[in-house]
């Protein structure tokens, strides 16, 4: 497999629209340079950690949801069938939890992702366009979700998993008992190696590739 590592403009200076445009521009670059990169631009898996997971999940959704793409004025870089899978590590996947009393992230987190810091907008309605769970349907690509019971976004990820299953979308999961937010990248954590073993299996299954260890 070929991995393309993507960055994006970040809040609070920039909003979700900027981040999604950056991610879509990266896909355009991959598509236009696919021959040089040696990749099949019709077999793409999107993924990320935390906010990166949120961005990748929204980008995958807008490939098949024109209203979401129109909201952000994005012309999707590839067709929906080209997105074969989505990987979510501790993703900001369900914004409904942020509106619950006592949640660790306040409403300022929602406002900083909206144009004009959300002034004059009904935040719960506006957050629909930030929340991947709102855009799942039966055509959403298969998903690999990893989270931890100690992650403050744990319940958001559980809600996302339940919604995927409710819509008949294939979902693989790995839940840790003790790790903190974005623990997957910490090679010192015992379950980190298992994340990447399962990730390789997931990518192979959704892309139809039999990946030997030397290819991973």
The CB density around residue 62, as the number of other CB atoms within 10 Å, is: 22
Residue 138 pLDDT greater than 80, yes or no: yes
CATH code matching the domain that covers 16-207, chosen among 3.90.550.10, 3.40.50.1820, 3.90.45.10, 3.40.50.620: 3.40.50.1820
DSSP for 187-198 reads TTSTTHHHHHHH
What are the Cα distances from residue 63, in Å, to 15, 86, 129, 209?
20, 12, 14, 23
Would you say 19 and 55 are in contact if contact means Cβ atoms under 8 Å apart? yes
Strands 44-49 and 83-89: parallel
What does the pLDDT look like over 181-198, one tens digit per residue? 999 988 888 889 999 999
Residue 214 pLDDT greater than 90, yes or no: no
Strands 83-89 and 143-148: parallel
Residue 60 pLDDT greater than 70, yes or no: yes
What does the pLDDT look like over 146-177, one tens digit per residue? 999 999 999 999 999 999 999 999 999 999 99
What does the pLDDT look like over 175-184, one tens digit per residue? 999 899 999 9
Query: What pLDDT does 44 receive?
Result: 97
Among candidate residues 179, 99, 102, the one with its CA nearest the CA of residue 131 = 99
Would you say 168 and 138 are in contact if contact means Cβ atoms under 8 Å apart? yes
Tell me the C-alpha distance between 101 and 213, whole Å. Answer: 46
């Amino acid at each position: 497999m070929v991995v393309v590592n993507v960055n994006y403009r970040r809040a609070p200076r920039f909003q979700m629209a900027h981040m999604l445009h950056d991610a879509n521009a990266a896909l355009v670059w991959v598509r236009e340079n696919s021959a040089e990169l040696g990749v099949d631009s019709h077999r793409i898996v999107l993924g990320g950690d935390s906010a990166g997971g949120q961005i990748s999940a929204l980008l995958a959704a807008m490939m098949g949801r024109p209203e979401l793409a129109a909201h952000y004025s994005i012309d999707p870089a590839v067709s929906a069938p080209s997105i074969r899978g989505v990987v979510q590590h501790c993703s900001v996947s369900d914004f409904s939890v942020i509106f619950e009393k006592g949640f660790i992230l306040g409403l300022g987190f929602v406002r900083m992702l909206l144009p004009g810091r959300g002034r004059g907008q009904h935040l719960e309605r506006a957050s629909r366009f930030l929340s991947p769970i709102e855009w799942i349907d039966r055509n959403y690509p298969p998903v690999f979700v990893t989270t931890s019971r100690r992650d403050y976004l744990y319940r958001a990820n559980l809600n996302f998993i339940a919604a995927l299953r409710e819509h008949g979308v294939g979902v693989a999961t790995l839940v840790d008992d003790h790790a903190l937010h974005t623990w997957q990248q910490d090679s010192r954590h015992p379950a980190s190696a298992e994340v990447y073993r399962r990730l390789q299996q997931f990518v192979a299954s959704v892309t139809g590739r039999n990946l030997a260890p030397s290819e991973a």
